Amino acid sequence: MNKVITINLNGIAYQLEESGYDALREYLDTAAHRLAGNPDRDEIIGDIEQAIGDKFRALLGAHKTVVVTKEVLAVIEEMGPVENAAEEEQPAGAAAGATTGAAAGSAGPGARTEAGGAAKAADGAGAPPPVRRLYCIREGAMIAGVCNGIGAYFGIDPTFVRIGFVVLTFFWGAGILVYLLMAFLVPTASTPAEKAAATGVAATAQEFINRAKAGYYEGMKHWHDKAAYREWKRRYKQEMRGWKRNFQQSMHEGARSMHENAQQWQQNWQAQWGAHPRPFVGPAVWPLLGILRLALAICMIFAVVSLVGYGHILGFAMPSGIPLWVGVVFVFIFFNVLSWPLRALKWSWYCQGPPYYGMHPRAIGLVDSVLWLVFVVAMIWVADHYSPHFHEWLRMVPGWVHDFLEKVRAWWQTV
């Protein structure tokens, strides 16, 4: 009489004699060990488990429910040793993986949850999430999906990106310019694979299945230890649920929920500002606000130019080791923080003030932006006419823009 152990191969339970179970476990552990560092490790293990399961099923029937040790050994023999096909290409990675695998393997029962965590990390490498790329996402887009795409790329709410663009627009209409450029340059995600790449979420059910399999393999390893197995099962289910929720939300309802988020945010914003007492500034103060903003903007441009050109702002050098663009972004953020109260004052007036000259307050905002744009263009025209230096400089701008576009294109092709 022999003890029987029930195992789970790819979602189907099989009963094995105890020593057969030990042999199979050793075979699979060795396979996992040899494949350490292989990005498809979990998938290969899943395939092998499925093949083993198929062979077991062929052996069993209505009157034979247990796979005996001899049969398990025969199946293992038939499967053959698992060879790492990628071994020759990446010995370094394989070696590193092998050591971490050994470390996880040698950890005692107390460290089971950590081992699970390590396996999960390996799982991340095993079923690699699609590489994230910048795309325009049409679903739930306001215009061309540029902000949607940027939001998905950086994993932030597209509403904030839109706000960023709107803010940039007040800054000499740069938002509109950047938006148009990106709408032309950045491709639109149309195939499911591209959409997956745009959000970094696996789009296919296959990835889902892979995850499930990887998890089951982890569970099988704990099968002999009931407490550890229960703990694993609880965590596994939780994770799968969470993942499934993410999956559904981002793929099926993602666009809509983003849109709802945006509306919610907008409402909150209006409610918050509507509750405030009316600000003391009237339209008469607008030019003052505008001048203040212009002064700030000039300071910012000066800061950026001095940072890019001389590597320091008013003698404050960049700490070494921090790339230049971080500094530039920091200056932009600093400018936006400084000028935020001015913009907030203006917007609060637009949004809750009485209709002004019979115009909708939002329309005033638009007119204001257009006026700014006209003002800037007029200033450029005047400068172009009366300053030969500026004229020379202006003539070089198209070349720069061309260079910049070429660089962006080259960058896009390397990403």
Q: Binding pattern to another protein, positions 82-111, x when CB under 8 A?
A: xxxxx-------------------------
Residues 209-228 that bind another protein (CB under 8 A): 209
- Residue from the set 22, 40, 239, 368 that interacts with another protein by CB under 8 A: 40
Choose between 57 and 407: whose C-beta lies nearer to another protein: 57
CB of 292 to another protein, least distance (A): 57
Residue pair 45/100 in contact by the 8 Å Cβ criterion: no
> What is the Cα–Cα distance from 130 to 206, expressed in whole angstroms?
13
Q: Binding pattern to another protein, positions 52-81, x when CB under 8 A?
A: -xx--x--------------------xxxx
Residue pair 105/90 in contact by the 8 Å Cβ criterion: no
Choose between 39 and 173: whose C-beta lies nearer to another protein: 39
Q: Binding pattern to another protein, positions 178-207, x when CB under 8 A?
A: ---------------------------xx-
Contacting range for another protein; rule: CB under 8 A; set: 9-17, 96-104, 112-120, 186-194 = 9-17
With vertex at residue 403, the alpha carbon angle to CA 399 and CA 406, rounded to the nearest 5 degrees, is 140
User: How many binding residues for another protein (CB under 8 A)?
Assistant: 29
Q: 314-342: b or e for each residue (b if 16 or more CB lie within 10 Å)?
A: eeeeeeeeeeeeebeeebbeebbeebeeb
| Per-residue DSSP letter, 278 | P
Is residue 29 within the footprint of another protein (CB under 8 A)?
no
Choose between 113 and 206: whose C-beta lies nearer to another protein: 206
> What is the Cα–Cα distance from 109 to 228, expressed in whole angstroms?
8
Beta strands 312-313; 66-67: pairing state: unpaired
Is residue 122 within the footprint of another protein (CB under 8 A)?
no
Residue pair 135/186 in contact by the 8 Å Cβ criterion: yes
> What is the Cα–Cα distance from 142 to 161, expressed in whole angstroms?
12
Residue ranges of alpha helices (H) inside 144-204 are 146-154, 158-170, 174-185, 192-199
Chain positions contacting another protein, by CB under 8 A = 10-12, 31, 35, 38-40, 43-44, 47-48, 50-51, 53-54, 57, 78-86, 205-206, 209
